Amino acid sequence: MGIIIQRMNIILGTIVGLGIFLFGMHQLEQGLQSLGNNRIKKILSRSTEKPIFSVASGVTITAIVQSSSMVSLMVLAFASAGMIPLFNAVGVILGANLGTTFSGWIVTTIGFKMDLAAIALPLFGLSSIVYLFSERRPVWRSGAQAVIGLGLLIFGLSEMKDAVETLPQLFDLSSLGNMPIVVYLLVGMLMTALIQSSSAMTLITLTALHSGIVDLPAAAALVVGADIGTTSTTILGSLRGSRIMKQLALAHVVYNLVVDVLAFLVLLPLLPSAMDFVGITDPLYGIVMFQSSFNLIGLFLFVPFLKQFSDWLSKRFGKDDDEYISLYLHNTSTEVTDAGLITLEKEVRHLLEMGMTLNMQAFHFSPLQIGTPEQVQSLQKVAKKYEGFSEGYVRLKRLETLIRHYSIRLESVSLNVKQIERISLLLECARDNVFALKSLKDIQSDLDLFRQGDSESSLLFNQEISNSQEGILRRQLSFLQSDMLDEQRLNQFHLLNDMISQQHQALNEDIAESLRLLPADKNKELDVSAAQVTTMLNVSREILHANQGVQHALKLYFKVTEKVGVNAKA
């Protein structure tokens, strides 16, 4: 019974640690994306602009923080946020493998190992305070979010490690006896995957070697296995990540497999002779020398071919993320002007459709509520490309950037005045649509609070918003899907502008009524507070800006695509 309970605790602890780990990884990435301005990108690119600098960065940072797993995960997050290109990120990860061997030298020499788990909660706690009190300082807030993610990530790793920390004690390495050396390799790999720390496995190995539980060859095999097992952290961090995160995880796996197979088959049999050659008699120093040597040899083998290795990785895992975000830009060259303009027009329409699905998600509408049966399938196809409003908004901004870059390339060829005007209108259309979604993004937390409704006034306010937005979105989608706007349909479009203004005015009048009902006596409780009224006014204003932005974007799209009938004027 006791063994069953112990196993259940290990399973539960591992699952809890995994959840915290993945959430921390998400927060770290989101924070880094928010911080990803050009200045930070420039600093990072300069620090890793050459292969040797990339590797040196990986070695140095890992030697300081004493965790190749953490460095690898940070590189995954930076690369996914677009702050480090694949070529540079691979170099950092390769360098991290050598940097992690410093812990072995430190422990062997002075018996000291930095405990990263001890700083996880302080990191999380202090950064949470900064996050909560830096609402008006976006840089501080984003930095705090990244540090919160880092703290949670370390804490999650620690929880997973603590959940299975009894395994090395329960599993007696001496019970392996005279089994083949490959068994020790597999044990080292498995235990490192469970503990999530090659440094910890190295410490266990050094302790076992010092105590005489295992001999030198067995200890060396355990260390090699630990080097393979540490790739599990990178794989885990990339499971739900972007394409570049998966490519970096593959780089880590391929590099470690090649180097570790070489170490196991060639260097391990030569270890006693190598120790005699350099005059090392202490087996502990022999192990850390062996670990550093095969990682250093691996760098000498891979760094000269880092570009070729990165090029090979770049072709893995399907399309480029940008190709996945855009539907048409990557299929058409800008050399043929007319084809390029048609492609640009189609991609802007795709951006408008994406904005429409995000608009629905902002107010928790399903495509079935807003669209006709013919429109639902198209909307669902667009929505499948992202998970949730936040990720969709990031992709929407990226799509606008891709559209702008494509336009610049298109304008580099000879264009007439009318073609230049078309491009300008399409870019303005895309910009207006993104600005509209920015207004909704800024009030997402407020909308969620009103939707949860801790008071009757909040629920009524949310219901009033939902009722008005449902009608507005249904009409806007109908206009976007129209093949041609005759004079009657165009009049309906102008009437929608009036409807948006009228509903905004009606909403503000209701809010003003709530403000009028606030008691003069501050000690008297009421269903709505002054702070809530202020928030309602802000939400009302941002919704107005969002609706007007979409309307203006649609108007520009009608103009540039000549959807307006001959007798109708936009």
Per-residue pLDDT of 294-311, as tens digits, reads 999 999 998 888 888 888
Cα–Cα distance measured from residue 214 to residue 330, given in angstroms and rounded to the nearest whole number? 57
Asked if the model's pLDDT at residue 165 lies above 50, the reply is yes
Asked if the model's pLDDT at residue 22 lies above 80, the reply is no
* Category of 420 on φ-ψ map: left (φ > 0), alpha (ψ -120 to 50) or beta: alpha
Cα torsion for 484, 398, 34, 197, to the nearest 10°?
130
- Report pLDDT for 290: 93
Asked if the model's pLDDT at residue 40 lies above 50, the reply is no
Q: Which of these, 553, 532, 535, 464, lies nearest to 503 by C-alpha position? A: 464
**pLDDT: which is higher, 388 or 404:** 404
- Report pLDDT for 428: 95
Please check whether residue 12 is in contact with residue 159, taking contact to mean a CB–CB distance below 8 angstroms.
no
- Report pLDDT for 44: 47
Asked if the model's pLDDT at residue 41 lies above 60, the reply is no
Please check whether residue 147 is in contact with residue 119, taking contact to mean a CB–CB distance below 8 angstroms.
no
Q: Which positions ≥6 away from 153 have C-beta within 8 Å?
A: 21, 24, 25, 28, 70, 73
- Report pLDDT for 519: 53
Task: Give me the residues paired with residue 485 across strands.
Answer: 564
Segment among 77-81, 215-219, 372-376 with least mean pLDDT: 77-81
Cα–Cα distance measured from residue 361 to residue 484, given in angstroms and rounded to the nearest whole number? 27
- Report pLDDT for 176: 53
For residue 261, give both structure tokens: 């197979």
- Report pLDDT for 224: 93
Asked if the model's pLDDT at residue 25 lies above 70, the reply is no
* DSSP calls for 215-275: -HHHHHHHHHHHHHHTHHHHHHHHTTS-HHHHHHHHHHHHHHHHHHHHIIIIIHHHHHHHH
Cα–Cα distance measured from residue 30 to residue 387, given in angstroms and rounded to the nearest whole number? 14
Asked if the model's pLDDT at residue 405 lies above 90, the reply is no
Average of per-residue pLDDT across 456-477: 86
- Cα separations (Å) of 412 from 322, 339, 369, 416? 21, 15, 44, 12
- Report pLDDT for 524: 46
Give the helix ranges, DSSP H, for 36-67. Answer: 38-47, 51-65
Cα–Cα distance measured from residue 126 to residue 143, given in angstroms and rounded to the nearest whole number? 12
Cα–Cα distance measured from residue 17 to residue 11, given in angstroms and rounded to the nearest whole number? 10
Average of per-residue pLDDT across 96-116: 68
Please check whether residue 457 is in contact with residue 536, taking contact to mean a CB–CB distance below 8 angstroms.
no
Asked if the model's pLDDT at residue 436 lies above 80, the reply is yes
CA 19 remoteness from chain centre:
16
Percent of the chain with pLDDT over 70: 77
Asked if the model's pLDDT at residue 464 lies above 50, the reply is yes
**pLDDT: which is higher, 4 or 142:** 142
Segment among 23-27, 30-34, 160-164, 464-468 with least mean pLDDT: 160-164
Average pLDDT, the chain: 79
- Report pLDDT for 552: 93
| Domain segments of the chain as ranges | 2-318, 323-561
- Amino acid 41 reads K
CB neighbour class for 377 (10 Å; exposed up to 12, middle 13-18, buried from 19) = exposed
**pLDDT: which is higher, 413 or 394:** 394
Asked if the model's pLDDT at residue 567 lies above 50, the reply is no
CATH architecture assigned to 323-561 = Up-down Bundle (1.20)
| Exposure of 253 in the CB half-sphere (CA atoms within 13 A) | 15
**pLDDT: which is higher, 381 or 266:** 266
Q: Which positions ≥6 away from 133 have C-beta within 8 Å?
A: none
Please check whether residue 299 is in contact with residue 44, taking contact to mean a CB–CB distance below 8 angstroms.
no
Residue 55 three-state SS: helix
Please check whether residue 337 is in contact with residue 410, taking contact to mean a CB–CB distance below 8 angstroms.
yes
Residue 564 three-state SS: strand
Segment among 62-66, 208-212, 221-225, 260-264 with least mean pLDDT: 62-66
Average of per-residue pLDDT across 483-510: 84
Cα torsion for 545, 137, 122, 29, to the nearest 10°?
50
Average of per-residue pLDDT across 30-52: 57
Rounded to the nearest 5°, which phi and psi values hold at 564? -75, 135
Cα–Cα distance measured from residue 18 to residue 161, given in angstroms and rounded to the nearest whole number? 10
Cα–Cα distance measured from residue 393 to residue 406, given in angstroms and rounded to the nearest whole number? 20
Asked if the model's pLDDT at residue 240 lies above 70, the reply is no
- Amino acid 214 reads V
Segment among 126-135, 173-182, 219-228 with least mean pLDDT: 173-182
Average of per-residue pLDDT across 438-459: 84
For residue 424, give both structure tokens: 């300008």
Residue 386 three-state SS: coil
What's the pLDDT tens digit per position in 187-237? 899 988 886 767 667 777 777 777 677 788 998 999 999 989 888 877 887
The full 3-state SS of 152-180, as one line of letters, equals: HHHHHHHHHHHHCCHHHHHCCHHHHCCCC
CA 266 remoteness from chain centre:
39
What's the pLDDT tens digit per position in 301-355? 988 888 888 888 887 776 555 556 788 887 676 767 777 888 899 899 999 999 9
Average of per-residue pLDDT across 137-142: 84
Cα–Cα distance measured from residue 444 to residue 542, given in angstroms and rounded to the nearest whole number? 11
Cα–Cα distance measured from residue 257 to residue 301, given in angstroms and rounded to the nearest whole number? 13
CA 211 remoteness from chain centre:
44
- Report pLDDT for 265: 93
DSSP state at residue 212: T
Cα–Cα distance measured from residue 207 to residue 81, given in angstroms and rounded to the nearest whole number? 40
